[in-house]
Structure 1
Amino acid sequence: MGNFIITKRTNGEYQFNLKASNGQVILTSEGYVAKASCKAGIESVKTNAPTDTRYDRNTAKNGSHYFNLKAGNGEIIGTSQMYTTSSARDNGIESVKTNAPGAATIDETI
């Protein structure tokens, strides 16, 4: 089972990473000014992760593959790491679908 890890950026904003059970980061959030907003983002990921249509599958200019997870309102709530192939990216999406709904939250800012 994966974990959401809340950290603080050098600019003071909060962010979360979803890590798979092997410790690999599979999804990263935007920066949030308030920790409560960061926690709400985690809940949004848990809600939206199982729905395949919430994922935008993209290719970067350098040919790397990545995805964005969007909320029901279309706002991006998480972005993946870069993958070398589209099949690796699709495996990343499946990992988010599997890990996010039941993931625990670990707050490293306390």
Structure 2
Amino acid sequence: MAKFQIIKDFDNKYHFNLKLKSGDIVLRSSDRTIAKIACEKQIDLVRTNSKFAQRFSRQSDEQGSYFILKDADNQVLGRSGYYTYWLDMERSIAAVRSYTHDAELEDLSSLAQKEVEMSL
């Protein structure tokens, strides 16, 4: 189980996190948008594109391994955090592929920033 959280930053821009039932955030939006509807459209694109294994790009650098989800036009939709172990990253990709299609949507954009931080 998972949920998308829409968050409004201090500078009034929106982004999303995909959060698993365990509390782990497995995917963060690649862009911050000025309109909430644009953020919701990004979530719809994640739902559509996460079905396809080839849309996930595995990367690594000096901080660890991570994955990127792209759309059919190779535009980045979201990025994971860093993983120490490759297998943990693969499990997170599997979770994104399994749970995004029916993940609930939680709109935290109207909450005060302090309340948002407490819910993450």
Instruction: Specify the TM-score bucket, using the shorter chain as the normaliser.
Output: over 0.9
| Preserved contact between residue 5 and residue 106 of structure 2 (Cα < 8 Å) | yes
Query: Is the aligned partner of 1:89 residue 2:105?
Result: no
Q: CA deviation at 1:17?
A: 0.2
Q: CA deviation at 1:63?
A: 4.6
SS in 2 for 1:44: helix
| Preserved contact between residue 66 and residue 80 of structure 2 (Cα < 8 Å) | yes
Distance in 1 (CA, whole Å) between partners of 2:66 and 2:11 is 25
Distance in 2 (CA, whole Å) between partners of 1:32 and 1:71 is 17
SS in 1 for 2:7: strand
Query: Paired residue for 2:114?
Result: none
Give a deviation string over 1:26-79, Cα, whole Å, max 9, x none. 00002111111000000000001111000010002x150000000111110000
Distance in 1 (CA, whole Å) between partners of 2:58 and 2:105 is 26
Query: Paired residue for 1:77?
Result: 77
Q: Structure 2: which amino acid aligns with 1:108? A: L
Identity of aligned residues (%): 30
Q: Which has the larger radius of gyration?
A: 2
Q: Structure 2: which amino acid aligns with 1:23? A: G
What is the alpha-carbon root mean square deviation over aligned residues? 1.0
Q: Structure 1: which amino acid aligns with 2:32? A: G
SS in 2 for 1:101: helix
List alignment gaps of at least 5 residues for structure 2: 111-120
Query: Paired residue for 1:105?
Result: 105
TM-score by length of 2: 0.87
Distance in 2 (CA, whole Å) between partners of 1:46 and 1:63 is 28
> Which has the larger share of helix?
2
For the structure 1 residues 108 and 63, does the alpha-carbon distance in structure 2 shift closer, same or farther, using more than 3 Å as the test? closer
Q: Structure 1: which amino acid aligns with 2:10? A: T
Query: Is the aligned partner of 1:42 residue 2:47?
Result: no
Q: Post-superposition, which runs of at least 4 consecutive aligned residues in structure 1 deviate over 2 A?
A: none
Q: CA deviation at 1:109?
A: 1.2
